[in-house]
Structure 1
Amino acid sequence: MAEDEESPSPAKATKVSSPSPEVPAENAEASTSSSLPSPDSEPENRVDLLAKARAFLQQPQIQREDAASKRRFLVEKGLNETEVQGLMRELPVQAPLVPPRSYPQPPPSNLPILLLGLARLFSWIAGGSAALAFIYYRVLLPRVAATFVVRASLKSHQLTLIRKLNSSLAALKESQADTAAVLPKPEPHKELSAFAACLSLDGLLEQAKKQSVEVAGIPAISLLRCAIADFRKGSDSRNPKTEEVFRVLEGKIPWLVSDDGAACEYHLWNTLSTCPLFIPDTSSSPDASAPPPGDNQETLYWGYAPPEPPPPTALAESLTALSASIPKSSPEKNSPFQHALQSMTDFTGYISSQMYAPYLPLANRLGPGASLGAPEEDVRKEIRALKGLVLNRRSFMPNTSLRPQQ
Structure 2
Amino acid sequence: MSDSDASNASNVATKADSTTSEASSREGLLAKARAFLRQPDVLSRDVATRREFLIEKGLDTEEVDQLISETPPPVPPRTYPQPAPSKLPVILYATMKLLLLLTGASVVGAAMYFTYIYPKLAATFGARSKLLEHQTDLLRRLHTTGEETRKHRVGNQVHSLPPTVSPKPDAAETPITAEAEDVPVRLEEQKEPQSQTRETQEVQESQPSSYDRLYTSLQRLRDALPRRKPQYGSTLQDMSDMTALITSKMYAPKVHSGIEGEVRKEIRAAKGLLLNRKTFTSIRPQSEAITP
The structure where helix makes up a greater share of residues is: 2
TM-score by length of 2: 0.39
TM-score by length of 1: 0.29
Specify the structure having the higher radius of gyration (Cα): 1
